[in-house]
Amino acid sequence: MKTHLNTLGIILTTLGSFLVWRYLTELNWADKDAYLKGEGVLTVPSPSKEDIKKFKCQLRLSKLGLGLILFGGVVQVASNYWYE
* Residue spans per domain, the chain: 2-80
- pLDDT confidence of residue 28: 61
Q: Higher model confidence: residue 34 or residue 2?
A: 2
For residue 78, pLDDT over 70 is answered with yes
β-bridge partners, 30: 42
Q: Which segment of 23-27, 54-58, 63-67 scores lowest on mean pLDDT?
A: 23-27
Complete DSSP assignment for the chain: -HHHHHHHHHHHHHHHHHHHHHHHTT---B-HHHHHTT---B------HHHHHHHHHHHHHHHHHHHHHHHHHHHHHHHHT---
- pLDDT confidence of residue 29: 62
pLDDT of 21-49, one tens digit each?
888 776 566 666 777 777 766 666 788 89
- Could you tell me if 76 and 9 are in contact, meaning their C-beta atoms sit under 8 angstroms apart? yes
